[in-house]
Amino acid sequence: MNPFATFLLSLLNDLGIFALMTLAYGFVLRRSPYGPVRSAAIGCLFGLGAAVAMADTPDLGSGTFVDARGVALILAGPFGGAIAAVLTMVIAVAGRVALGGGNAAIGVATTVALSAMGLAYARLRLSGARPHRTTQFLTLGLLSCLPNAVMVGIPGHVGATMLGFLLPVVVTKMVGVLVLGHSLAATRQAVIATLRLEEQAFVDPLTGLPNRRSLERSSMRIIDDAARSKRPVAALVIDIDHFKRVNDRFGHDVGDAVLKAVAATVVTNLRAGDAIARYGGEEIVAVMPRTSLDEARRVAERIRGAIAREVFDEEADIGGVTASIGVAVRSGPELSFKILFKAADEALYRAKELGRNRVEVAAPLALAA
């Protein structure tokens, strides 16, 4: 097979590599935490794509390699940020050095320039946002071709070789950036939409707290840990006193505002490892791992006092808001969320019967050994 045909075949293979990158990009977005870790993972992915594109390209003479690595290099910054751009460049540079040849220095310089241009475009033109428009990808595609156009002017074999292969390289890079860019943007939007739906399935839209379904899942992990460590687990069931009267007298807007304020107050007074949810209506439930009865009672009293002091609505002038709290602590092999919640809920009803705005603890005789 003549060198030109081999070259064209390698470019087609590169487009297949970039299609696989799109799938892997979606996986990274779903599995990696947002921030430096995600950016580093994207950089490794794009860098690997660039390195494979180079490895798949034939030597056109004197160590001259013309490939589509620029597609991955130019998109790394816009889709992954600075860390991704740098890592992609480092991996691609290492790959080019490994290929060797008399023109390795030119290849390294081209790789660095492409990474810098992609990152600069993301920072200066996109303000750090991710590209999604055709005009943006056309611009990035043209930038990816710029080093190849400059190389045409290099005297000798490099310039002559690049002149002969310039048109297919430009077409491949433009198509590659357009197709891969749109695919990455579509994948990112699909992942974001999926994550939002998943979040909505486990988050109460009014208070922003986890919902009942989320708490039951979280409590399973806490109870499993308690079974292994043989430590007790506490539950607080918090109910706003006379909440129906607030809604009936002042309207649901005021009731919603009160509920959100109570939820925020409860969150402020819980520990980092505690699980919390709006369990239903005006009821908020917290599950506290490795918590003794005395500690659970202290936390409940702190929450009750904070609600009485801090939650009110100035516009409606409803006065102080109070809450009743039931507390239960359980341990042992028979521990379950159902048992724990039932005991705390029964304690809550006693608090209501005894006058509200108080904390009641599940009877000691009911505690598991």
CA-nearest of 237, 140, 248 to 185 is 140
Question: pLDDT at position 368, please?
Answer: 42
Question: pLDDT at position 369, please?
Answer: 38
Same domain, 71 and 172: yes
Question: pLDDT at position 67, please?
Answer: 73
| 10-residue mean pLDDT series, the chain (369 residues) | 57 74 91 90 94 73 69 94 96 89 82 94 88 94 86 62 70 87 93 81 88 89 87 95 87 89 94 91 94 94 93 63 94 86 95 95 58
Please enumerate in sequence order all residues whose Cβ is within 8 A of that of 129, keeping only pairs 6 or more positions apart, or say none.
none
Question: pLDDT at position 143, please?
Answer: 94
Work out the widest C-alpha separation in the chain, in whole angstroms: 96
Same domain, 149 and 56: yes
Please count the helices (runs of H) and the strands (runs of E) in the chain.
11, 5
Same domain, 256 and 301: yes
* Cα distances (Å, whole numbers) of residue 30 to 115, 182, 191, 327: 25, 18, 7, 38
Same domain, 236 and 292: yes
Question: What tokens appear for 205 in the block?
Answer: 């839209």
Q: Which domain holds residue 283?
A: 212-366
Q: Report whether 279 contacts 259 (CB < 8 A).
A: no
Same domain, 257 and 326: yes
- Provide the sign of the torsion angle of the four alpha carbons 309, 312, 317, 318, taken in this order: negative
Cα separation, 42 vs 49, whole angstroms: 11
Cα separation, 180 vs 115, whole angstroms: 16
Same domain, 92 and 240: no
Q: Report whether 64 contacts 24 (CB < 8 A).
A: no
Residue 42, in any domain of the structure? yes
CB atoms within 10 A of CB 59: 14
Residue 1, classified by CB atoms within 10 Å of its CB into exposed (0-12), middle (13-18) or buried (19+), is exposed
Choosing from 139, 172, 202, the residue where a domain stops is: 202
Same domain, 287 and 173: no
Same domain, 56 and 196: yes
Collapsed DSSP state (helix, strand, coil) of residue 203: strand
Phi first, then psi: give them for residue 238, nearest 5 degrees: -110, 125
Please enumerate in sequence order all residues whose Cβ is within 8 A of that of 237, keeping only pairs 6 or more positions apart, or say none.
279, 283, 284, 285, 325, 326, 341, 344, 345, 347, 348
Residue 207, in any domain of the structure? no
DSSP conformation letters of 340-362: HHHHHHHHHHHHHHTTSSSEEE-
Question: What tokens appear for 68 in the block?
Answer: 């589509």
Residue 148, in any domain of the structure? yes
Residue 67, in any domain of the structure? yes
Q: Report whether 64 contacts 158 (CB < 8 A).
A: yes
CB atoms within 10 A of CB 56: 18
- Provide the sign of the torsion angle of the four alpha carbons 259, 264, 269, 275, taken in this order: positive
Question: pLDDT at position 342, please?
Answer: 93
Question: What tokens appear for 341 in the block?
Answer: 């919640």
Q: Report whether 250 contacts 316 (CB < 8 A).
A: yes
CB atoms within 10 A of CB 315: 9
* Cα distances (Å, whole numbers) of residue 101 to 70, 107, 349: 19, 10, 81
Helix %, strand %, coil % of the chain (to 5): 65, 10, 25
Residue 126, in any domain of the structure? yes
Residue 161, in any domain of the structure? yes
Which CATH number belongs to the domain containing residue 247 in this structure? 3.30.70.270
Question: pLDDT at position 366, please?
Answer: 42
Same domain, 76 and 145: yes
Residues β-bridged to residue 239: 283, 324
Token pair 């009865």: residue: 293
Collapsed DSSP state (helix, strand, coil) of residue 53: helix
Same domain, 237 and 260: yes
- Provide the sign of the torsion angle of the four alpha carbons 149, 82, 184, 13, taken in this order: positive
Choosing from 202, 237, 264, the residue where a domain stops is: 202
Which CATH number belongs to the domain containing residue 55 in this structure? 1.10.1760
Collapsed DSSP state (helix, strand, coil) of residue 286: strand
Question: pLDDT at position 334, please?
Answer: 78
Choosing from 177, 202, 227, the residue where a domain stops is: 202
How many domains is the chain built from? 2
Same domain, 45 and 194: yes
Same domain, 75 and 140: yes
